[in-house]
Structure 1
Amino acid sequence: MFGPRRWSALWAVVAVLGVGIAPVAAQQGSITGRVIDAETGAPLSGAAVAVVGQDGLQGTNASGAFQWSVPDGTYSLVVTLIGYETGRLDGVGVSAGETVNVEIALRSRAEVLNPIVVTASRRQEKALDAPASISSVSQAEIAKIAAPSVAEHVKALPGVDIAQTGLNQSNIVARGFNNVFSGALLTIQDNRYARVPSIRLNANNMIPTTDLDIERIEVSLGPGAALYGPNAASGVMHIITSSPIDRPGSSVSLAGGERSVFHGQFRTAVAPSDRFGFKISGQYFRGDDWEFTDPQEVAAAMADPMNPLIGARNFEAERYSAEARFDFRFENDAELIVNGGINTLGSSVELTGVGAGQVDNWQYRYAQTRFTKDRFFAQAFINQSDAGDSFLLRAGDPLVDLSRAVALQAQHGFDLGERQSFTYGVDWQYTQPRTEGTITGRNEDDDDIREVGAYLHSETNLSDRFDLVTAFRIDDHSRLEDMNFSPRVALVFKPSENQNFRATFNRAFSTPTTNNLFLDLVAGGIPIIPGVGYDIRTLGVPEGGFTFNDQCAGGVMSYCMRSPFMAGQLPANAPIFWDALVAQLVPANLQPALLSPGAGDPTLGTVFRRFDQVAAQSGVGDPFPLDMTGISNIGDITATTYNTFEAGYKGLINDRLILAADVYYAKVENFVGPLRVETPNVFLDPTTVQAFVLQRLDGLIQGGFVTVEQATEIITGLSSVPLGTVVP
């Protein structure tokens, strides 16, 4: 585990390539430049500028200017000033007789506590001005921690919870409602959805970017659907990476620790001019993961000893990734960014809704292009997945995931006077699961999803102290009958520049995942007798839902069932298997006394029992308790709706202390929960079995040929066999 205790034994080394290289010639060059305030652009006087590897300091003048004479070489500059964060510029190359001009921007302590953010309103604003609760993790804070995934950097933020499931496996959630595939917190990287396409999983160990690339991480709490669309019900986590133009240079990070952990990262960025830059980065991680034995995997392996994949866990965790990025800046302030990345999970044990899965070379790839000019933004990206040789550990069945998601987005904004601003945009997304039947089964040829949405965001400056923020969004999902509407209203009161009170209402929604709609796979088995058993088939809810409307004469309440003992659709009536069951379970010398129930015998009855997976796993309780809920039809699956009322405060005290408090009330409707058993099994009624067996064996019991204990064992055995499953 990578918590503070586990990392007590951690060693970390961070090296900057090409820093302080000893001069190879005595000829001199010059480094001149200015030190400015990162927020205002104003020159900073009195700053101390040091060149790593050179003696002394140079102070900046009233214009923020400085000058250093240095031998031919490549250098790093470090700048300090009271009230500001320390600044550093690496990779400054100087040739003999050459003068190199640089500019170094320092962030004030107040800016650190009240940084510029973009996630809450999809445009730049101060964190204190945002109409939502938002937190930010800076590049300097990220550099302090050797982390296997981005989860380590945000776990201390307010409202954020981390569910750690392995060395580098984790789920990040905001404001509760965690599950195996946590998707209520939308995770994006540079405005791109950073999740596995088919299952909408925020897999942090699938994100290719390295800590060396990250400029900052922003987490906006509360529903974000009005701007970001579906599946941002709990908020948005935005990973923002740095431009190679703004941050050129090369760096390497090496870390290691307990459980044979090793984590290596590198980044190289080159900017031949202030108009073009490119970078490449990568990482490698390995370690001995936490060990666990799943009792259901053990039982399944015993029932199917010929399948070598059941329970075949590999506890070595391994991943490696690489990214590339090209930035182009044009004279009219337009910018074009083209980037892509790939991440491979060589080995990992990942939790699913049907037990653990063994990941074997699961690959995640993306490509993205972005264009911005003034307040216009457009992007296109594709996310792709390839599960490699991964498989389910309880069933031993392969997992094929060749899913991909393609998205197009455009946004523009404009102002009307000094008090009114509008932002509007459109989104389109197309998702293809492509599992070759291993996950979506019989739905494989009809499981694509198309989503389109449009939004309008308004900011009105009512007075010097009051702002009104409103937004409205409409989304259409190709597999849902109704459109979804997401309104947002926020009133922001600013009694002073560094104080912010807000009251908001948000409506957000989460659409069903491809698993919710199209899942169709065998997740395990229930052995009954040698060679006979039940498959546990997990299903999503298709359009139209499930109905139990088929009628079978002779079945209890005319319900129908399927059975491993006989092919075809059968009446849900257990006694039809009586003679076959007696022949299988009763000693041969007693079978004639129990076969062929007749008119004078007690009537054999039927009961419904519902499989309890928790009891089966733990061994505590009855795995087939009586079905007390009854059988009911399952309607269409719909979007989960979140209505949230929130009041909050955030203030900066004397530029040294930030205070924040949030109170919210959220009502969730049509919540999609975990997998549950909906189809009961058909059993013989033990009360009627007891009456029948005791009457048929009464003479043998009285004569001492059969004991009461033997009769009880026969009754229990006959009553404990699931003979069929009531199916829709």
Structure 2
Amino acid sequence: MRMYLLFLSLFFCGLTFAQNTISGVVTDSNNQPIMGANIKIVGETVSSISGPDGSFALNSSKKPPYLINVSSVGYEAQKVTVSSNNLKVTIKLVDEETKLNEIVISASRTPERVIESPVTIERMGIQQIKSNTAPTFYDGLENLKEVHFNTSSISFKSINTRGFSSVANTRFMQLVDGMDNSSPALNFVLGNLIGLSDIDVANVELLPGASSALYGANAFNGILFMNSKNPFTNQGISTYVKYGQTNQETAGTNDYFDFGLRAATAFSKHFAAKANFNFMRATEWIASDQRSMTGGSIGHANNQNYDGLNLYGDEVTTFITNVGQVSRTGYREQDLTDNKVKNVKADFSLHFKPWANETEIILQHKIGLGSTIYQGANRYALDDFFMQQSKLEIKGKNFFARAYMTNEDAGNSYDMRFAAWNVNRAAKSDTEWFTNYATAYQLSGAVLGTNAGQSAALARNYADYNIKPAGLPFLPTPTGSARFEPGSSAFNNALKTVIADPDFTKGAKFIDHSTIYHSDVNYNFKDLLKFAEIQVGGSWRQYEMNSEGTIFTDFDGPLRYTEYGAYTQIAKKFMDDRLKFTGSVRYDKSKNFNGNVSPRVSFVYSAGATKRHNFRVSYQTGFRNPTTQDQYIGLDLGPFALIGSAPENLDRFTEIRNVSAAGQALGVPSNLTLTGQNAYTNSYTLPSVQAFSAAIAANPTNIPAAAALLKTANVGLVKPEEVKAFEVGYRSVINNDLSIDINGYYNLYNDFMNTSRVISPYYGNVNTTFDFGNPATLATLSALSNGDRRVYQVYTNTTAKITSLGFGVGLSKKVYKDFELGANYNYAEFKFNQSEDPGFVAGFNTPKHRIKASFGNAKLFENFGFNVNLRYNTEYLWQSSFADGMVPENTVVDAQINYAIPKLKSVLKVGATNIGGKDYIQVIGAGAIGQQWFATWTINP
């Protein structure tokens, strides 16, 4: 071994003998060092990379004179003549005039210029990150064309492109260094919980629209690619400190703090390592919408069945004879959580280049820990929610192969609605509370002569606080405790107990230790086959659901299922390289469903003498497999239960329901065990049962007429949804300073996935032909009339024809010297005939009109720059399982100024969001978004 090292040393010594050294530094126009610039001798393989301070050294045996080429992403390449040996040079690179020349990978899984992309693509590079007006680069994605945010929390924002999204956006994929960072159990991305730091982002690419032909299941409405810096080319220690304040009408003014540290070094040309650490804390945008979800006035003072949108516990309601529908007193969301947001991220990676070629082996581990708010069917406090990813990847010039694992732990997370219910029940059971209310209400009217409003107030006081109405001293003293007041020790103790208990009959905690195992491979034959560029690839994934029965029907152990897929793509240029054809096809198979084929065909034509006018047209398909929740959820949410539609899940889900006295009088047992089969095979549509109940209330004797309104649900088991996407576009740069991007799309959806509310009677058969002499018919109608019925939310596909269309126009121009003005407009709408599926809830959740504009100058004067962003959207309908409503139109203005200090290798930035604006919402039920200002000091960016 020692002899081997000796010969190896002599070999390298021999190579370096008689070599000349060229050294220097690479800077930008503000004299800031450029790290990672590539310096190469023209016509040779010898090259070097600039370090954190922009310096480089290049050894060569070539004799002067010769040319070196210096390039870096975001800057125009420059060639410099080397006229003598051991020369020291200073090279200043100029910002690239147009983003259209930037190189992207994601559109075709191969490097190509943005302007030649076969589909619409947006890119955020280092320069855009530096001029970002938002507190973080991730928040700044909202300023990209086609992007619309759904903000559930100050740290939980989901990306919406081309509609049909919610906070839980399972139609949009997000990849970080090639890894899908969606939650294994929830199947959607938790914002930037386990994403990248501002100082480690190399670039971001966004593909709006269907992309399943290359990226498989769930690449349905778009993909976001976030790529980090490589430690071989971006070395050194970088850090930032960010302080600011948030201001919201409900939460008031609160501190905001963010810190990041990055360390990377190449120990040799064969080995490099990188580590990142980030910590952020803030106060939540508190959700405090008090609108009544049951109609009527706000507050129990004028509405005894009041159910406030962001009050929980008041969903528990019952009908009391001679009193009416009554709900319990709820708790505000801000009483049920500490409203503190935090996020800790860390990642570590080892990079090996064992050979002289471009092959690189990467070992990477990422962790994310956070507390935030998530809105699904209920509002959830994700407290100490933990995710981690581990990856092994090998990649080269024309291939990559990666395998990774994503694991999560729900930590101390809990359902705030169940927390409120069970804090209430810890004081007094529902039965006792409603009995107290009914007794006080009826006696107040009968003995004291109070009106309905007065009786309701006295009854609630008696039920909540055990206070007997004056004049009714003979009322018994309730055995339960008085209502726990928020902030009291009794309330705090009860809440602490409830959120630590995973049994939803008396607790609110949910457990999750789910895991995803995933692998990808890709090979490009471009160096082996010259007539066209051909790629092949594939993927394999296994889901492992492990919620211990608190979310899924995995009460007897983890549930597992697999998916796999394979694809190929061919690309070829014709007509003097003016016409580029790209065709691809992919096959995917998931355990519970038939295989799916996804083709894509596109043409790009480059017109003009310099090929700057690029026209594109494409047809592609996208598909989305039902999520783990769509298939295996089994969750009792109180007023209704969520039932996944995997065939085995229908029998796995069971619950015991109490039968009313009226039902028992028909000979039905006092307790019945129901399964998921009841939801899918023995149920009526929710609207028809509501119509039936209204008809019975209006005319109790005309049962046949009311029964004729009932419609059997006929719910099919959920299957993959598909979209056929047609897109045209034009992209160009005119006179070197006017960038134009125009696109239009039309989507046709098949088997669109949705949820549906159905009602199943505890007993009877909905499929029996109505015969009022038949006991089975009478049993079914009696169950509905007696309240012996269960509401389910089931997962299925609509048969309705659904289409969506939209177009966008983006312009960017240097209007004076280095002042740049940008503007874009997006239009989006969908169509379907509601009569084809009356129970279908579209959930398009997208404004019809959106306008965005920017104005800035990165070089206003030496080392100083600024940028301003404006966003406007029209009002739009928000539909979700939590709440529906109109989101008002809003206009938001963000701005920042920055100052570079070259001697300290740092940049100071001061910015503010929602300047001068009022609090606004993007999600019905979430907290209104207030104002935020921040100051950042970044060292060695």
Residue 198 of structure 2: SS of its match in structure 1? coil
Residue 235 (structure 1) aligned with residue 222 (structure 2):
yes
The CA RMSD over aligned residues, in Å, is 4.4
Give the number of the structure with larger relative contact order, counting CA–CA contacts within 8 Å between residues 6 or more apart.
2
Residue 490 (structure 1) aligned with residue 602 (structure 2):
yes
Counterparts of residues 95-110 of structure 1 (less than 5 Å): 106=93, 108-110=95-97
Aligned equivalent of 1:556: none
- Contact 1:109–1:655 at 8 Å: present in 2 too? no
Distance in 2, Cα, partners of 1:146 & 1:275: 38
Q: Deviations over 1:358-384 (max 9, x none)?
A: 111110100112111221210111111
Q: 1:546 to 1:657 in 2, by over 3 A?
A: same
Aligned equivalent of 1:292: 287
Distance in 2, Cα, partners of 1:268 & 1:541: 47
Within the candidate set 509, 520, 537, 1:409 is matched to 520
Q: 1:381 to 1:150 in 2, by over 3 A?
A: farther
- Contact 1:349–1:356 at 8 Å: present in 2 too? yes
- State the Cα distance separating 1:403 from its structure 2 match: 0.8
Aligned equivalent of 2:733: 652
Distance in 1, Cα, partners of 2:200 & 2:263: 10
What runs of 5+ residues in structure 2 fail to find an aligned partner?
A: 1-21, 28-33, 43-49, 55-63, 79-85, 247-253, 289-308, 318-326, 420-507, 671-682, 692-697, 699-705, 765-782, 795-941
Q: Name the % identity.
A: 23
- State the Cα distance separating 1:663 from its structure 2 match: 0.9
Distance in 1, Cα, partners of 2:337 & 2:707: 35
Letter in structure 2 aligned against 1:722: G
Residue 448 of structure 1: SS of its match in structure 2? strand
Q: Deviations over 1:468-507 (max 9, x none)?
A: 1100100010121x10110001111111422211111101
Letter in structure 2 aligned against 1:197: P
Residue 725 (structure 1) aligned with residue 720 (structure 2):
no
Residue 188 (structure 1) aligned with residue 188 (structure 2):
no
Counterparts of residues 158-173 of structure 1 (less than 5 Å): 158-173=145-160
- Contact 2:688–2:709 at 8 Å: present in 1 too? no
Distance in 2, Cα, partners of 1:335 & 1:380: 15
Q: 1:193 to 1:563 in 2, by over 3 A?
A: closer
Within the candidate set 637, 655, 675, 1:523 is matched to 637
- State the Cα distance separating 1:295 from its structure 2 match: 4.9
Letter in structure 2 aligned against 1:32: G
Aligned equivalent of 2:584: 471
Letter in structure 2 aligned against 1:114: N
Within the candidate set 501, 508, 514, 2:615 is matched to 501
Q: 1:519 to 1:271 in 2, by over 3 A?
A: same
Distance in 2, Cα, partners of 1:543 & 1:104: 66
Distance in 2, Cα, partners of 1:331 & 1:282: 31
Within the candidate set 196, 200, 208, 1:209 is matched to 196
Q: Deviations over 1:255-287 (max 9, x none)?
A: 222231111111111122333221111111111
Residue 141 of structure 1: SS of its match in structure 2? helix
Aligned equivalent of 2:130: 143
Q: 1:117 to 1:565 in 2, by over 3 A?
A: same
Letter in structure 2 aligned against 1:502: R
Residue 631 of structure 2: SS of its match in structure 1? helix
Aligned equivalent of 1:399: 510
Q: Deviations over 1:197-238 (max 9, x none)?
A: 122111113224211110010001221111110100112110
Q: 1:153 to 1:40 in 2, by over 3 A?
A: farther
Counterparts of residues 324-363 of structure 1 (less than 5 Å): 324-329=348-353, 330-345=355-370, 347-352=371-376, 354-363=377-386
Q: 1:401 to 1:222 in 2, by over 3 A?
A: same
Distance in 1, Cα, partners of 2:525 & 2:71: 39
- Contact 1:467–1:492 at 8 Å: present in 2 too? yes
Distance in 2, Cα, partners of 1:431 & 1:406: 7
Aligned equivalent of 1:670: 751
Q: 1:409 to 1:565 in 2, by over 3 A?
A: same
Aligned equivalent of 1:588: none
Aligned equivalent of 1:382: 405
Counterparts of residues 51-62 of structure 1 (less than 5 Å): none
Within the candidate set 365, 373, 385, 2:396 is matched to 373
Q: 1:104 to 1:640 in 2, by over 3 A?
A: farther
Distance in 2, Cα, partners of 1:100 & 1:281: 36
- State the Cα distance separating 1:31 from its structure 2 match: 5.8
Residue 607 of structure 2: SS of its match in structure 1? coil
Q: Deviations over 1:2-22 (max 9, x none)?
A: xxxxxxxxxxxxxxxxxxxxx
Q: 1:121 to 1:40 in 2, by over 3 A?
A: farther
Q: 1:409 to 1:663 in 2, by over 3 A?
A: same
Q: Deviations over 1:298-332 (max 9, x none)?
A: 32589899999997222111111111122222312
- State the Cα distance separating 1:143 from its structure 2 match: 2.8
Q: Deviations over 1:507-536 (max 9, x none)?
A: 1100000000011112134xxxxxxxxxx3
Q: 1:411 to 1:146 in 2, by over 3 A?
A: same
- State the Cα distance separating 1:656 from its structure 2 match: 2.1
Residue 462 (structure 1) aligned with residue 574 (structure 2):
yes
Aligned equivalent of 2:626: 512
Q: 1:311 to 1:80 in 2, by over 3 A?
A: same
- Contact 1:340–1:366 at 8 Å: present in 2 too? yes
- Contact 1:421–1:459 at 8 Å: present in 2 too? yes
Letter in structure 2 aligned against 1:356: R
Q: 1:371 to 1:564 in 2, by over 3 A?
A: same
Counterparts of residues 220-231 of structure 1 (less than 5 Å): 220-231=207-218
Residue 631 of structure 1: SS of its match in structure 2? coil
Aligned equivalent of 1:58: none
Residue 292 of structure 1: SS of its match in structure 2? coil
Deviating more after overlay: 462-471 vs 227-236: 462-471
Aligned equivalent of 2:535: 423
- State the Cα distance separating 1:449 from its structure 2 match: 1.9
Q: 1:106 to 1:273 in 2, by over 3 A?
A: farther
Residue 204 of structure 1: SS of its match in structure 2? coil
Aligned equivalent of 1:537: 641
Deviating more after overlay: 219-228 vs 438-447: 438-447
- Contact 1:419–1:461 at 8 Å: present in 2 too? no
Residue 315 (structure 1) aligned with residue 339 (structure 2):
yes
Q: 1:210 to 1:634 in 2, by over 3 A?
A: same
Q: Deviations over 1:423-446 (max 9, x none)?
A: 100100111111110000357647
Q: 1:250 to 1:305 in 2, by over 3 A?
A: same
Q: 1:518 to 1:101 in 2, by over 3 A?
A: farther
Distance in 1, Cα, partners of 2:514 & 2:89: 46
Aligned residues: 566
Distance in 1, Cα, partners of 2:151 & 2:631: 27
Q: Deviations over 1:89-127 (max 9, x none)?
A: xxxxxxxxxx99899794651464421000001111111
Q: Deviations over 1:21-53 (max 9, x none)?
A: xxxxxxxxx96357899699688xxxxx9x999
Distance in 2, Cα, partners of 1:510 & 1:203: 19
- Contact 1:395–1:522 at 8 Å: present in 2 too? no
- Contact 1:361–1:387 at 8 Å: present in 2 too? yes
Residue 131 of structure 1: SS of its match in structure 2? coil
TM-score, normalization by structure 2: 0.54
Distance in 2, Cα, partners of 1:164 & 1:412: 38
